[in-house]
Amino acid sequence: MQIPYEKRDAGLGVGLGLFAKAAVSAGTCVWRFKVGENVIEYDEEATILHLKNKTLSEAQRWLDLTYGLRGKICEILDDGRYMNHSTSPNCKTDSKGDTYAIKDIAEGEQLFEDYGSFDHPPFLLVCLEKYNCAPKYYDYQAHPDPTRDDT
């Protein structure tokens, strides 16, 4: 994380969330994408291999904590994985993978992204269906194009 934050119960039965410990101005980078440090990327073959020996519940949990970017599935290894979904987000991940505040965030406010804005490569959609864990709380087919440029 690039800002002061705390991880705590987000309430409403969603588990943990990230909360700003200081005011954050719009445009501030709140989380930096670093393959090999805080992110592991999986192409289709690596995803299938990774899921091969998992139980159904392990596969569902893993898929729930990943997202699509540039045609791959990304597994976040640090606290960035606790950023929750909202249809009124205050953060957005750009096409390079870095996450920015898209509006001013007050101290104590929870950090949110719209999961529907992530890429959803076709093989991810197949995995979500196969393991019976397609999300029901956002439109996961909203942005299936891994070549989008939203910077």
Each residue of 64-87: pLDDT tens digit? Answer: 889 989 999 999 999 999 999 999
Q: What is the pTM of this model?
A: 0.85
Considering only residues 140 and 82, tell me which one the structure prediction assigns the higher pLDDT.
82
Strand, coil or helix: what is 80?
helix
Number of independent structural domains in the chain: 1
The whole-number pLDDT of residue 140 equals 61
Structural domain includes residue 148: no
Identity of the residue numbered 106: A
CATH number (domain holding residue 32): 2.170.270.10
Q: What is the mean pLDDT of residues 41-52?
A: 96
Q: Which domain holds residue 56?
A: 5-130
Q: What is the mean pLDDT of the chain?
A: 89
- Residue in 129, 136, 85, 74 with CA at minimum distance from that of residue 111: 85
Q: Answer whether residue 100 shows pLDDT above 80.
A: yes
Structural domain includes residue 32: yes
Q: List, for residues 112-125, the tens digit of each pLDDT value.
A: 999 888 888 889 88
